[in-house]
Amino acid sequence: MEKLMVIVMPMLEGCEITLQIFSLTLIMALPLGLLAAMAKLSKFRLVRVLTDVYIWLMRGTPLMLQLLFVYFALPLVGIRLPDIAAALLAFTLNYAAYFAEIFRSGIQSIERGQYEAAKTLGMTYMQTMRRIIIPQMVKRVLPPISNETINLVKDTSLIYILAMNDLLRVARTIVQREFDMTPFLIAAVFYLAMTFVLTWIFKKLEAHYAKYDE
Amino acid sequence: MGNDIMIQMKNIYKRFNELEVLKGIDLEVRRGEVLAIIGPSGSGKSTLLRCLNRLESIDCGTIEIEGDFLAREEEGIAKYADKIASQRILSRMGMVFQQFNLFPHMTVLENLIEAPVQVKKMKPEQIIPTAESLLDKVGLLAKKDVFPSRLSGGQQQRVAIARALAMNPDIMLFDEPTSALDPELTGEVLRTMRRLAQEHMTMIVVTHEMAFAREVAHKVIFMADGEIVEQGTPQELFSNPQQARTKAFLQNML
């Protein structure tokens, strides 16, 4: 039992890093993704093109490469970020790009009649988006957003290459030190627990939005 | 019925790329008047209505609503009023759509109070009594807390009428309000509209309901190919049409 605690305690600390990266990325990437989705639907061509380039770069290169770039290449041009900030920057930019595409398709799936009804009632574009379009969009994009969110929990393990002691890196360190595979099993249980909670939250959200049909 | 002119459209032209859909429309509606616009599909009647409240923009012509210019013809093109003036003018018109277009994520009552709260910045408690009496008027007060998907098409359309009325418009525009409904549900919507007409609401109704046009409208316009072919009282147009195209259309409808 005592031996197990020696393994589990540092892994709980690793979990803290993992959850920190996960939640901060989500908090920043969701609004940024919505902003990018709106930019993609902008009437200004330049805004649309720039957003397309950003999304293409983020989805077209490995997240691992983006992490390495922020961590190792940016300091060469004088931008040196603290470890956590560097990881957050890469994760947020990457996930916001995926969220943007999901939000955009959700927004475009709302019938034109909704915009027209809002317009004839005198609502402005921003009021229409905020009150009519986005609330309906959220219901429709919950399943794909749920998918991406679960991916994010697991993708956080990529930060092991930045020498940050997240859950997976702690597990590996102990495995190498003790020649004992148990930490890997415990890590799996931790990841499963986190994704279980997320799945449950999204199920609740979907049930909440099921109060109205379309 | 007063004699003051509520809506005046002059020389309206509108094209979608190569397709000319309105070719020089002139139209006048007086206060309390009910105008029915009939005609085959593709005749431009819905487009005309949508130009009136700027869901579409006209290319040429003048639109005057209660004495204010929404658009004014200058050197052959339509110049629109600035944003603030446009908003003020457009707020006098309510619109009812073929597909109802209720907000599905809001209850019936929330649908009604949304625009007054957001646009007119009224407090919910200020507008709820009005909204409830409007729902009562269309016979749906009991449904105020349900979501639109729980209502029949006819009920949804009556809510849509009440929602437009909650903004207290001077003019109501109806774009084929019963075309998406099962035949047995059109009656309840037409009854609601008839009642509105009896209360002297100024109305423009694009419709395929000839009986309604004949009975409720003060004036009927027959459109085909982007032009007004014939207009007159229902009596004149239905009983004694002058143009061959009007006769052919009416024959097909009956």
Contacts of B95 in chain A (CB under 8 A): 116-117, 120
CB contacts < 8 A, A to B, total 66
pLDDT tens digits along B51-72 = 999 999 999 999 999 999 999 9
Nearest-by-CA chain B residue for A135 = B105
Asked if B237 and B230 count as a contact pair (C-beta separation under 8 A), the reply is yes
CA distance B30 to B21: 25
CA-nearest of B201, B165, B223 to B39 is B223
Contacts of A118 in chain B (CB under 8 A): 115
Q: What is the DSSP letter of B79?
A: E
Interchain proximity B163–A121, CB inside 8 Å: yes
Element (H, E) at B13: strand B5-16
pLDDT tens digits along A168-214 = 888 888 888 888 888 899 999 999 999 999 999 999 999 999 988 77
Which two three-digit tokens encode residue A8? Answer: 């589990």
Interchain proximity B55–A116, CB inside 8 Å: yes
Q: Inform me whether the pLDDT recorded for B252 exceeds 90.
A: no
Question: What is the ipTM score, two decimals?
Answer: 0.93
pLDDT tens digits along B203-221 = 999 999 999 999 999 999 9
| Nearest CB to A119; choose among B55, B103, B167 | B55
**Residue B1 pLDDT level (bands cut at 50, 70, 90):** very low
Q: What is the DSSP letter of B36?
A: E
Rounded to two decimals, what is the model's pTM? 0.90
Interchain proximity A121–B105, CB inside 8 Å: no
Contacts of B160 in chain A (CB under 8 A): 117
Asked if A213 and B147 count as a contact pair (C-beta separation under 8 A), the reply is yes
Cβ neighbour number for residue B87 with a 10 Å cutoff = 14
Which two three-digit tokens encode residue A194? Answer: 């986190």
Predicted pLDDT at A211: 86
Which neighbouring-strand residues pair with B28?
Answer: B8
Which positions in chain A have a beta carbon within 8 angstroms of at least one beta carbon in chain B? 111, 113-114, 116-123, 127, 131-132, 135-136, 139, 211-214
